[in-house]
Amino acid sequence: MEIRKMIPDDYERAYDLWTRVPGMNLASLDNSYAGIARMIQRNPETCFVAADHDRMIGTILGGTDGRKGFIYHTAVDPKEQGQGIGTALIDRVCAQFKRDEITKIGLFVVINNEEGKQFWRQKGWNFRDDIVYLDRDL
């Protein structure tokens, strides 16, 4: 297995993984091929996959506005969880953000994804109770 930068050609296998991993919030954003390809094009150094040849094992999408970093789609194949792959993916993104002088990273977890929340808390991420997230469709 290798961790390498994600390319648009990874989309189908990544999407298949996202549908098999509980806790992903695929409905709330543009997760089409075009949407993900655009994210990769704009953030080519911070989107990664863990793959064993054609087998997609894990993904993480990092993006930045130049000031703050965001992490999306942290997912590891249920059969491969608990071996440090999720940690390795996060480390790759964080290292690149650091090189890009990004000093703060945020991410979203669906409110009822208790395992996901536990995971991030255990990895040292802070929960914000002073912010309410708002969005709007354009």
Ligand X SMILES: CC(C)(COP(=O)(O)OP(=O)(O)OC[C@H]1O[C@@H](n2cnc3c(N)ncnc32)[C@H](O)[C@@H]1OP(=O)(O)O)[C@@H](O)C(=O)NCCC(=O)NCCS
- Residue numbers of the site for ligand X (CB under 6 A)? 21-24, 74-76, 81-87, 109, 113, 115-116, 118-119, 122
Q: Which is nearer to ligand X, 57 or 102 (CB)?
A: 57
Integer angstrom CA distances of residue 72 from 29, 44, 125: 11, 14, 14
To the nearest whole angstrom, how small is the minimum distance from the Cβ of residue 94 to ligand X?
Answer: 13
To the nearest whole angstrom, how small is the minimum distance from the Cβ of residue 91 to ligand X?
Answer: 9
Measured at CB, which residue is nearest to ligand X?
86
Nearest to 61 by CA among 126, 118, 2, 6: 6
Q: Which is nearer to ligand X, 131 or 138 (CB)?
A: 131
Nearest to 132 by CA among 101, 113, 108, 114: 108
Q: Which is nearer to ligand X, 62 or 116 (CB)?
A: 116
At 122, which helix (H) or strand (E)?
Answer: helix 114-122
Report the Cα 87 to chain-centroid distance in Å. Answer: 11
To the nearest whole angstrom, how small is the minimum distance from the Cβ of residue 17 to ligand X?
Answer: 9
Measured over the CA atoms of residue 92, residue 101, residue 105 and residue 17, the dihedral's sign is negative
Q: Which is nearer to ligand X, 40 or 89 (CB)?
A: 89
To the nearest whole angstrom, how small is the minimum distance from the Cβ of residue 114 to ligand X?
Answer: 8
